[in-house]
Structure 1
Amino acid sequence: MVGKKFAKSAPAATDTSHAQEAARIEITGLTKRFVTPTGEPFTAIRDVTFTVEPGQFCAIVGPTGCGKSTTLGQVSGLERPSAGSVAVGGRPVTGITKGVSFMFQADALFPWKTVLGNVMIGPTLAGMAKKDAIALARDWLRRVGLTGFEDRYPHQLSGGMRKRVAMAAALINEPRILLMDEPFGALDVQTKAIMQTELLGLWEQSRPSVLFITHDLDEAVALSDRVLIMTSGPGSIKESFEIDLPRPRGEVQDIRHEQRFLELQNQIWASLKDEVQRAYARTAGAA
């Protein structure tokens, strides 16, 4: 009897371990060069190296123009590196990788589709029966507090509500990796805090690996397990900070008043401030 139980449980452990490995992001010596409209070469990022462990919430902060979004584009597979490599789950990224969802600053909703129609796109494209996709989409809209808005169109929603739709559309696919490029940057302070708290609650349910780009240092510290500082362009990783605030974290607005949060915020700002000042001085000189 014991032997039979062991035989059944072993594959489950192996499957779990394999799923975790599939959610690892490994970036090694990543460099991206562009050619400007005037024909001049431009290096956006240079020799970027870091790893996002399975289930880790990792934020990247840095001055404007340092290459944060460029780095995310390399991980997404939407762009190809000039040098170096990106691997997801141990496999080189050569195109759009399965199991990856995106959430960007600009609304990525189809304006001609209803809220329900936008959220159910992922499951439908994955081959789920329409009836099941509708039921799943309704459940996710319930989770993000949009029950009753299924038949609305994006232009009929507030900015915060559109972000909730985008979040549901990203998470309904149960991604192993979630890429987020300043997803709440355009929101007012109050709505932003609410959305940050909702994101934490939804993320806790399945713990995908997250790579989160932001200009907001408070946001990075409140949400993340780890914060990476990028240098002023060409961007590279200057420093990494482990965020040891306990999870689950509750309301983001409350976290910002905790003593440990303030200590971490001050430590990271001491490193980030120099890069922001360098970037400002460079652009001011160019002007």
Structure 2
Amino acid sequence: MGGNHPRRTPAAPGQADEPAGIEIVGLTKRYLTPKGETFTAIKDVTVSVEPGQFCSIVGPTGCGKSTTLAQVSGLERPSAGSVKVGSHIVDGITSGVSYMFQADALFPWKSVLNNVMMGPILLGTPKREATELAMDWLRRVGLAGFEDRYPHQLSGGMRKRVAMAAALINNPRILLMDEPFGALDVQTKAIMQNELLKLWEELRPSVLFITHDLDEAVALSDRVVIMTTSPGSVKDIFDIDLPRPRGNVQEIRHEKRFLDLQGQIWDSLKDEVTRAYARTAGAAA
């Protein structure tokens, strides 16, 4: 399973691309600590995300959720195991992938418009076409009229809208999201969740979504993966059979099936959260 597979040529921005699944098999990642000791962040993680599926990973702090995303993106290489996107082994930066971080990964010296059009420009799109595409995406995320603002002139929720437009403008096959709404207030978070679901329904990339918020995971996802305390491995996988489209996450959370699923998943997750807390409390004592 070497690295001689053909490289994929990204589709032009705004054009449809073939769906791609994610296959994570026996994934292990080890790091050297500053003391020269080996630390295992994740161990033998196996997860499948079907093409166009929305999959969330939930687990206690330090269980390796973000590490898993880094292996899928190709930003890091696994110590053991493999990741496939589509039919290709990931052995470098994965084409057709967009990454949305918890922190706003926006260029503070660039305007909103220039931040959003960066992706198409880097893929060789002519400036006029990239500008039109970025303007269209700013309208889609409700920021028409804010093109000339800079990130520091926007609220937290507005910056997330810019980041979402920048992540989706190239019509990615894979969307990786690392707690993108974690820092937002409850009301803004609900609005952004609804926005994300609406845009995902239009484009249908395969999504791997990291969150600490169990309600968020259930409301958004087709599948929820529970990871153990460090070293992180897969403890349980739950299929979420709530009907789609899901128009309003706040309303979904009051439905009986949502509450049943949330309760089942919490029964699996709570032991891991308790273990992680006990470990960190013991270390601090």
User: Shorter-chain TM-score category?
Assistant: over 0.9
Deviation at 1:40, TM superposition (A): 1.5
5 Å-filtered alignment, 1:8-157, equals 19-20=18-19, 23-157=20-154
1:166 maps to what in 2? Answer: 163
Matched positions, count:
268
Q: SS of the counterpart of 1:234? A: coil
Distance 1:268 1:216 in 2: 12
Deviation at 1:61, TM superposition (A): 0.1
**Deviation digits for residues 129-174 of structure 1 (CA, Å, limit 9, x no counterpart):** 1111111100000000000000000000000000000000010000
Distance 2:223 2:271 in 1: 20
Distance 1:72 1:97 in 2: 12
Deviation at 1:119, TM superposition (A): 0.4
Distance 2:122 2:40 in 1: 37
Q: SS of the counterpart of 2:209? A: strand
Select the residue among 207, 213, 224 that pairs with 1:227.
224
Deviation at 1:64, TM superposition (A): 0.4
Q: Percent identity?
A: 80
Corresponding letter in the other structure for 2:44? D
**Structure with the greater alpha carbon radius of gyration:** 1
Distance 2:127 2:277 in 1: 52
Corresponding letter in the other structure for 1:188? D
Q: SS of the counterpart of 2:18? A: helix
**Deviation digits for residues 36-82 of structure 1 (CA, Å, limit 9, x no counterpart):** 11221110000000111000000000000000000011101000101
1:217 maps to what in 2? Answer: 214
Corresponding letter in the other structure for 2:102? Q
Corresponding letter in the other structure for 1:156? Q
Unaligned runs of 5+ in 1: 1-17
Deviation at 1:284, TM superposition (A): 1.1
Distance 1:36 1:127 in 2: 40
TM-score computed with the length of structure 1 as normaliser: 0.92
RMSD: 0.8
2:185 maps to what in 1? Answer: 188
Distance 1:133 1:286 in 2: 51
Corresponding letter in the other structure for 2:194? T
Deviation at 1:286, TM superposition (A): 1.2
> Is 1:265 aligned to residue 277 of structure 2?
no
Q: Which structure shows the higher helix fraction?
A: 1
Select the residue among 235, 240, 244 that pairs with 1:238.
235
1:176 maps to what in 2? Answer: 173
Corresponding letter in the other structure for 1:57? F
Corresponding letter in the other structure for 1:80? R
TM-score computed with the length of structure 2 as normaliser: 0.93
Deviation at 1:99, TM superposition (A): 0.5
Distance 2:204 2:141 in 1: 17
Unaligned runs of 5+ in 2: 1-16
